[in-house]
Amino acid sequence: MGNRINLKIDDMPKISRLELSYKLYDILDRVEKESIGSIITDGSNNDLLLCPFAWFEPYRNSEFDHIIIAAVRYAIGRKTYVPKIVCNFTLKYMSMLDDKAIDVIIKDIEKELRYYKADLPNQKLWFDLKRSLEDEKELRNKEGQWK
């Protein structure tokens, strides 16, 4: 498998749904071996992206969760641009975090909110992140996905 990831949609080959049905195994083999994406199209606005599972690997392992937790721990209490970046990134990829990571981040934020009381820099930002993580946890509970 190549180590190149081609993420530019314009550079990806376009394949009709009909062609995909005839050449499925060849196309899947090429996507995996060359680490390329392909646009599956029928000429409408309902195009699909076919890409190797490896493209998602950075988000599917515990190292990703640990990096997010470390970033939150670093950023909380800071009076710089970093808290906003970390909170936005965490919100963007919240659905990729495992349940344990969400619990850890919620507890870390609660601990800092208690420690700093009303003096926590960017308090609203952290409170909003905590609430969003709790909402994600509740949603997973309702869907039977929380472990």
Task: State how far the Cα of 123 lies from the Cα of 87, in Å rounded to an integer.
Answer: 12
- Work out how many domains the chain is built from and give that number: 2
Predicted local confidence at residue 63, as pLDDT: 86
Structural domain boundaries, residue 15: 9-55
Q: What is the pTM of this model?
A: 0.64
Q: Model confidence over 92-123: pLDDT tens digits? A: 989 889 899 999 999 999 999 999 888 889 99
The verdict on 92 and 122 lying in the same domain is yes
Q: Model confidence over 8-67: pLDDT tens digits? A: 777 788 899 899 999 999 998 888 888 888 889 887 777 888 888 777 776 666 788 999
According to DSSP, residue 93 is labeled T
Q: What CATH number should be reported for the domain holding residue 37? A: 3.40.1620.10
HEC-encoded secondary structure of 6-49: CCCHHHCCEEEHHHHHHHHHHHHHHHHHHCCCEEEECCCCCCEE
Task: State how far the Cα of 85 lies from the Cα of 10, in Å rounded to an integer.
Answer: 28
Does the residue 3 lie in any domain? Answer: no
